[in-house]
Chain A
């Protein structure tokens, strides 16, 4: 079955593959070992050793740390237990005025800040912008999604989810 080298997968993740090759991979059936190779490439990239269980965005990972299964930033900043909304532990910049919105859209028409605000969720350690919400003022912080880790490991990868460190089975 189709399989690519770890280097190719790493280039794919970094966006370094030529478009022609990227599209060929996208249009083909997914390679059997893509997940494991992608995890290996990401594990090489991050500066910590806690095993990655699932990437949740381009620089945010669920990983098994000594404290348990936590959401980690690429820099190692710990956002807390994976079942909890990581955004609640992030630094937040709320753009809710014409001046703050104009920093993002200097030449375009602006949304009305009485109806919509932008919330930027930033890593308190490295300053990476992880996520942006566009919401009505007063709307609760959105919990983007909580992955079904057991289902993913058992039904899609065909193996058991590793037990969470420090939690009795």
Chain B
């Protein structure tokens, strides 16, 4: 068998056709998930095709449609939602093949593009290289210094004009940029998020000059992209939007054209980095660039609701990286300044911690000190690990997994790749085991332990950073290599429960399909409320907050309506980013009273802030005496979408022999075991599997160590229990 069970073979299927398709195009593979009205789903896979993503999109959809047993035309004709998240924009950025930009900024800030707050010189580096200053180098700027023009103007932090805009400067700059044949002009002036009049005037003057020259140039204003404090990341956001999204939009339009060719009747959706869906005509497309790993967190939050535990740690292990997200009592952290290709951006993003740890990590032994190190390089899929036999010459963790019998050499990707275990063993022995003077199997298990220890430590660090005990958290493990290294990653931490999935390899795509249509509009504020504020002062604050919320709500709703959502289907949720006055970090507070109408409503908002603060920072005392500050006000607008539902089925007797498919020698805890082999898709609710055992799926492998046990619950989720 070289693919997942067809729909008819799968237990509990219904005759409803799929209505949602979710596609997650990663660096290597494009994963597809189909979902029908009953929540039944199936998964497809194909290689990503970076030159024209629509090819990989169609191939992956076809793989999934085959698994469901329908044609592409039947599939697309019946779909309500096509949800695509791809890498086109990121590739444009990485390969520096975007638009030719010019920049007009406040005089004195011209070098900001080059300086990048210093930290862009080492952002994304390993710890060793951060300390190793000779490796520091700034990323190539998206706009060269000579096409950056400063204009005299100044608005202060209160929004007052301190120096008027020198319009002659602007005209000179605009003419120079037009003569330089730029595709787009970006405008970023300081404090434009408080008062945008100068940016607007600069844009108007540029438009006049562009019209006079008869040129075709787009103008982008930073406050229109994201009116939020911190000019370096605001600048990067407007530059990346102007630089990279045009080609990405073309890729998305090609996806839309391809799906409409097969009979799809609506517009394609894509995923925003803060976890909502937006049409591919979204005006701020750079907000979709970090969406890949977000799907997993959305999926985890969804599973958490299902199993009744809202404190979760999600962990996604693929070939290169180990991504961890934390959901604490239903709250997901929002990261406001994420990194993208070493540029600080100003885009709210679901917070993820990432370390370099994955099955593709290359193992190195220092010739001088005999110190072993993993990565940070990954063999990727081309040439891949040695055992793929496609030209890889450096030993990887996947080779160790193959050497130890944990990976089935004839069932990798359902048998599409036959693993050359002997070759992997020979080269691993020569390059790693022999220099260390250790037995080859002992060395291989040691390498895997190093990887798992790194991941284990990272999980502990992430949890302790939340100030909460692991016994309150459930670990969700997914990604192609997640279940393979699950036991080692989670051993000894003391999680409340450990879960993995039959569809672990497609979990991120699954998570994407659980998202709703969403917009998030926000603006920076500086509203300080003292602890002794009078009713009159609170009323003033309420008026100010409500006015901002009204404006944001109108903008968010207008964008959703423009995408065809009916007003009565759109729900809006105002939120505030608050801190105790003088602190450096905000927490996101959902307004419990909608738009505040008076002093009591403001008191309710402050009370809610203190409650949220205490739930996130359990051990930290609240500090109401300092007063509270509202740093940002926002509104999310949401419209529901149909989501997959997991099927709940009665528990069977615990004997898993119906899924048993043989035995294989596997090396665990320093010796060989005769491990039982099971087919993951054949497991039924109620089954219990005792280690040593290996549960195989075409796209993933779960290793159960001696003494440990896996239990399949009524949702067919797999619970791993350490002995």
Contact = CB atoms under 8 A, between A and B. Distances in A.
Interface string A115-137: 00000000000000000000000
Given A27-B126, A27-B128, A1 B137 contact: no
Given A27-B126, A27-B132, A32 B367 contact: yes
Nearest to A29: B366
10 contacts: A1-B365, A1-B367, A1-B431, A2-B364, A23-B135, A24-B377, A27-B126, A27-B128, A29-B367, A32-B367
Interface of B: 126, 128-129, 132, 134-135, 137, 364-368, 373, 377, 431, 435
B137 A19 contact: yes
Nearest to A156: B368
Contact of B132 (A1, A19, A24, A26): A26
Contacts of B135: 23, 26-27
Contacts of B128: 27
Interface in A1-19: 1-2, 19
A28 B364 contact: yes
**Number of chain A interface residues as a range:** 10 to 19
A23 B138 CA distance: 12
B80 to A, nearest CB: 44
Contacts of B431: 1
Contact of A29 (B129, B132, B364, B377): B364
A30 B366 CA distance: 8
B134 A26 contact: yes
B380 to A, nearest CB: 15
Contact of B129 (A1, A27, A32): A27
A27 B129 CA distance: 7
Contacts of B137: 19, 23
B386 to A, nearest CB: 16
Contacts of B126: 27
A41 to B, nearest CB: 20
A28 B363 CA distance: 12
A120 B113 CA distance: 35
Nearest to A30: B368
A28 B126 CA distance: 12
Given A26-B135, A27-B126, A29-B364, 4 more contacts: A1-B435, A27-B128, A29-B373, A30-B368
Contacts of B373: 29
A19 B134 CA distance: 12
Contacts of A32: 367
A74 B469 CA distance: 65
B694 to A, nearest CB: 34
Contacts of B367: 1-2, 29, 32
From A24, A29, A30, residue with most partner B Cβ within 10 Å = A29
A69 B51 CA distance: 59
Contacts of A24: 377
A2 B134 CA distance: 21
A145 B373 CA distance: 34
Interface string A24-60: 1011111010000000000000000000000000000
A27 B128 CA distance: 8
Nearest to A26: B135
Contacts of A28: 364
A88 to B, nearest CB: 31
Nearest to B136: A23
B125 to A, nearest CB: 8
B98 to A, nearest CB: 19
A136 to B, nearest CB: 28
Contacts of B132: 26-27
Nearest to B369: A29
A28 B373 CA distance: 10
Nearest to B126: A27
Nearest to B394: A2
Interface in A95-117: none
Nearest to A20: B137
Nearest to A31: B367
Nearest to B373: A29
Nearest to A28: B364
Contacts of B435: 1
Contacts of B377: 24
A106 to B, nearest CB: 20
A58 to B, nearest CB: 15
A1 B370 CA distance: 11
Contacts of A19: 137
A19 B377 CA distance: 16
Nearest to A1: B367
A133 to B, nearest CB: 23
B93 to A, nearest CB: 15
A155 to B, nearest CB: 11
A26 B365 CA distance: 16
B123 to A, nearest CB: 14
Nearest to B125: A27
Contacts of A30: 368
Contacts of A2: 364, 367
A28 B365 CA distance: 11
Q: Give the top 8 A-B pairs by smallest Cβ distance, nearest first.
A: A1-B367, A29-B366, A32-B367, A26-B135, A27-B129, A23-B135, A27-B135, A19-B137
Contacts of B368: 29-30
A28 B364 CA distance: 9
From B128, B135, B365, B435, residue with most partner A Cβ within 10 Å = B135
A152 to B, nearest CB: 14
A32 B431 CA distance: 14
Contacts of B364: 2, 28-29
B362 to A, nearest CB: 10
A30 B368 CA distance: 9
From A1, A19, A32, residue with most partner B Cβ within 10 Å = A1
A30 B365 CA distance: 11
A26 B125 CA distance: 13
B338 to A, nearest CB: 23
B129 to A, nearest CB: 5
Contacts of A26: 132, 134-135
A2 B393 CA distance: 11
Nearest to B365: A1
Nearest to B431: A1
A23 B126 CA distance: 12
Contacts of B366: 29
B116 to A, nearest CB: 16
A69 to B, nearest CB: 27
A166 to B, nearest CB: 34
Nearest to A27: B129
Nearest to A23: B135
A1 B367 CA distance: 7
Nearest to A24: B377
A24 B137 CA distance: 13
A26 B435 CA distance: 23
A24 B376 CA distance: 10
A2 B366 CA distance: 9
A42 B364 CA distance: 29
A28 B374 CA distance: 11
A90 B542 CA distance: 77
A19 B138 CA distance: 11
A26 B132 CA distance: 9
A116 B135 CA distance: 32
A24 B128 CA distance: 13
A27 B131 CA distance: 11
A6 B129 CA distance: 25
A33 to B, nearest CB: 10
A78 B137 CA distance: 37
A28 to B, nearest CB: 7
Nearest to A19: B137
